[in-house]
Amino acid sequence: MTHSRALSGKHAVITGGGRGIGAAIAHSLAEQGAAVTLMGRTLPRLEQQAEELRAFSQVHCEAVDVAQADSVAAAFAAAQARLGPVDILVNNAGQALSAPFVKTDPALWQQMLDVNLTGVFLGTRAVLPGMLAAGWGRVINITSTAGQKGYPYVSAYCAAKHGVIGLTRALALETARKNVTVNAVCPGYTDTDIVRDSVSNIQAKTGRSEAEALAELTRFNPQGRLVRPQEVANAVLWLCLPGSEAITGQSISVAGGEVM
């Protein structure tokens, strides 16, 4: 990437920042000079990731449950006390549980909404007033191609991710004249722990081999492969760098042509 250290002076918060897509995003933003707060459920995991980033920039870690309003408020208050107002928010924390619709009980349904949709609402609510006051901000919601199309056996997850895209579009219009952009980045099946869990789940339920289970997922991607976390991070970084100011309210697929 060009624009060396283009994000110096900016404070970026990445939820779910300890591994996978979140870790790749944090690395890309730190390399460009942003001070980074990693948020997630497990503080030791965040601290481990932070050690890799401190060669590039300031890094702080906060444990948070994105589905709980009090936890989110406390984590963001602590992050801003340490590194200043938040300029970039990457709502990356998410969870995907599968079940046929007829076996999707209210608890599973609510859990998917709480983590994947309410978490985005709570995190954005914590930082948007400061962005509007500063006259600059970037909110990037890591959704999924499940927010753009349907997949069987993950109806609750799809509903939540579609909700995030709707929220993205509405908020982009509210902030369009304030130099605050709001976008969604929508990966297809990506080489992360969530997808590895899905492969294990397919194996357990169908008796297929690991290779056969993986093929069941990669068949959705016309390129015939899993997306790499760094490819998602590259899209996020682009939305933060100078020159992307006109990009707002978009759902950007990173999926090898699966969604067009």
pLDDT tens digits, residue range 120-130? 999 999 999 99
- The pLDDT value recorded for residue 1 is 47
Q: Which residues of the chain have pLDDT under 70?
A: 1-3
Question: Torsion-angle region of residue 126: left (phi > 0), alpha (psi -120 to 50) or beta?
Answer: alpha
| Rounded Cα–Cα distance for residues 220 and 223 (Å) | 9
Architecture of domain 11-190+228-241: 3-Layer(aba) Sandwich (3.40)
- Residue-wise pLDDT for 47-67, tens only, equals 999 999 999 999 999 999 999
Q: What tokens appear for 133 in the block? A: 């006051």
- The pLDDT value recorded for residue 215 is 86
- The pLDDT value recorded for residue 3 is 60
Q: Where do the domains of the chain lie?
A: 11-190+228-241, 192-225
- The pLDDT value recorded for residue 56 is 94
157 flagged as catalytic: yes
Say what the pTM is: 0.94
Give residues with Cβ within 8 angstroms of 218, minimum separation 6.
189, 224, 225, 226
| Rounded Cα–Cα distance for residues 50 and 119 (Å) | 22
Residue 173 has phi, psi (to 5 degrees) of -70, -35
